[in-house]
Chains A and B, each alone.
Chain A
Amino acid sequence: MKTEISFTLNGSEITLTVEAHRRLLDVLREDLGLTGTKEGCGEGECGACTVLVNGRAVNACLYPAPEIDGKQVLTIEGLVGPQNELSIIQKAFTECGAIQCGFCSPGMIMSTKALLDENPDPTDEEIREALLGNLCRCTGYVQILEAVRRAAEKLEESR
């Protein structure tokens, strides 16, 4: 079964025809070539596929593609600036050494984006809570926590 979907992807309107059983993750990676969003477990446990739908973090591996019709989708590719410069959150992750193999990073960064958009000055407990659904197997959680705190500070300065 095919279905037509129209949605906003990283600020641009797009319309696509997709097979109804496909996941948002498949559409992003395979149809649109946006491979920044990773597939880890494919079961909503690891958070590597985290993207924002209408501003909220979701697992793209569990999100049926037909449900994105009419919605706003933001992926890691949508964070960079007009000159392809990294966003404040991405910079904070690199500066704090919160990136090692990098596989969890897009998901970690999107979860951080969702958190800081809603709560610009989170406590450590709130950061841990927000990133609970994102696993890092290089065990860089300490640096990741530091990166989120730094991103919050830098975003505050930039306002």
Chain B
Amino acid sequence: MRRFAYLKPGSLAEAFRLKEDMPDARFVGGGTDIMVQIKNRVASPSTLISLRSVPELQGIEARGAVRIGAITSITDLIKNDILRSRYPVLVQAARRLGSAQIRNVATLGGNLCNCSPCADTATPLLVLEARAVLQNPRGTREIPLSELFKQPGETCMDSDEILVQVMIPAFNAARKGSGVRAVFSKKGRVKMDLAVASLSVLIQTEGDKVTKARLAAGSVAPVPLRLTQVEEMIEGKTLSGKLIGEAARLAEESVAPITDIRSTAEYRRHMVGVFTRRALESLWTRSEA
């Protein structure tokens, strides 16, 4: 194992101070990705600044919107009663992330900040219109999550910025009477594998009309991707077999997958269509949660 220093600040202020003293240091959450990269010599940080003991990054609070501390482990996310009842699509996706051993350690912030196109928590949060709260010594800013992802492995964050919280607005909660429901689909080679393709779909209906549609796809573009054209096609309409078929075709055309070790571009594109059709069919027939 390559040598590196490992620092455990006990506050956000201390984390910022350490980063200022050591600009080359990297912030780390659960470390389940970077420890593998270090072993394989893909990354060779001189210093890791662990954010696990930073209290400002912990906890899940619900006052209208739900705010999830970035250092919340995937397991704690799955066990949270508020998330289970209001945002089951996020919990559904989190349950498909890695193995129990990984979920117990990996964090929400780490999953997002790695900026992998296949991050399992990204697409449900995109359809829930989540916002990212970023902080550095100079202040705090809040951005739509969709703006966080720039390209594989690269977020829009400044090097001294930390993802503090993920905020999910109350209006997308699956409450009784809200007409909101959502579903997550994922295809991996084996069950605990990274996604070959994944898709989250959220719709809101009034009567039989779709008032809101949100679709986001994983592993089929350089970053987790909102399928806004498909959303526009469905919104304001009544779902039908024909409309769902057209939406699935447009979804296939909206993505830009690649062929790599896990799958081919053709198969990934095809799966986005399949997932779109299946998700819309199940949401169409399902009475609201």
For B4, B36, B52, the residue with the greatest tally of chain A CB atoms inside 10 Å of its CB is B36
Size range of the chain A interface in the assembly: 20 to 34
* Interface of B: prevailing SS: loop
Q: Does B11 contact A (CB under 8 A)?
A: no
Does B287 touch A at the CB level, under 8 Å? no
- Partner of A21 from the list B2, B98, B99, B192 (CB cut-off 8 Å) is B2
> Taking CB as reference atom, which chain B residue is nearest A69?
B8
Which residues of the other chain, A, contact B48 by a CB distance below 8 angstroms? Answer: 64
Interface of A is mostly: mixed
Q: Report Cα–Cα, A44/B1, bound state, in Å.
A: 15
Residues of A within 8 A of B39 (CB): 42-43
Does B99 lie within 8 Å of A133, measured CB to CB? yes
Is B35 part of the contact surface with A, judged by Cβ < 8 Å?
yes
Q: Which of B8-61 contact A (CB under 8 A)?
A: 8, 31-32, 35-36, 39-40, 48, 50, 52
B104 at the interface (CB under 8 A from A): yes
Cβ-defined contact, B52 with A132, below 8 A: no
State whether the Cβ of A91 lies closer than 8 Å to any Cβ in chain B: no
For chain A, residues 44 to 76, give those with C-beta under 8 angstroms from any C-beta of chain B: 44, 47, 50, 53, 56-59, 61-64, 66-67, 69
Chain B residues in 8 Å Cβ range of A111: 100-101
- Are A23 and B5 closer than 8 Å at their CB atoms? no
What's the interface size class on B, roughly?
20 to 34
A53 to B40 CA separation, bound complex (whole angstroms): 25
Bound Cα distance from A43 to B1, whole angstroms: 12
Tell me the chain A residues, 1-29 only, with Cβ under 8 Å from chain B. 1, 3, 19-23, 26
Which residues from chain B contact A114 at a C-beta distance below 8 Å? 100
Residues of B within 8 A of A1 (CB): 5-6
The residues of B that contact A42 with a CB separation of less than 8 Å are 39
Query: Which partner residue on chain A sits nearest B8 by CB separation?
Result: A66
Set of chain B residues within 8 Å of A23, measured between Cβ atoms: 1, 35
B3 in the interface (beta carbon within 8 A)? yes
Is B75's beta carbon under 8 Å from chain A?
Answer: yes
- Complex Cα gap A50–B1 (Å): 19
CA of A59 to CA of B99 in the docked complex: distance in angstroms? 10
Cβ of A129 within 8 Å of any chain B Cβ, yes or no, is yes
Please state if B99 and A62 are interface contacts (CB–CB under 8 Å). Answer: no
What distance in Å separates the Cβ of A132 from its nearest Cβ neighbour in chain B?
Answer: 5
The answer to whether A132 touches B50 (Cβ under 8 A) is no
Chain A: residues with CB nearer than 8 A to chain B? 1, 3, 19-23, 26, 42-44, 47, 50, 53, 56-59, 61-64, 66-67, 69, 111, 114-115, 129-130, 132-134
Q: List 28 A-B contacts (CB under 8 A).
A: A20-B6, A21-B4, A42-B39, A43-B39, A43-B40, A44-B36, A44-B102, A47-B101, A57-B104, A58-B101, A58-B104, A59-B32, A59-B102, A62-B36, A62-B105, A63-B105, A64-B6, A64-B31, A66-B6, A66-B8, A67-B52, A129-B100, A130-B100, A132-B99, A132-B191, A133-B99, A133-B101, A133-B102
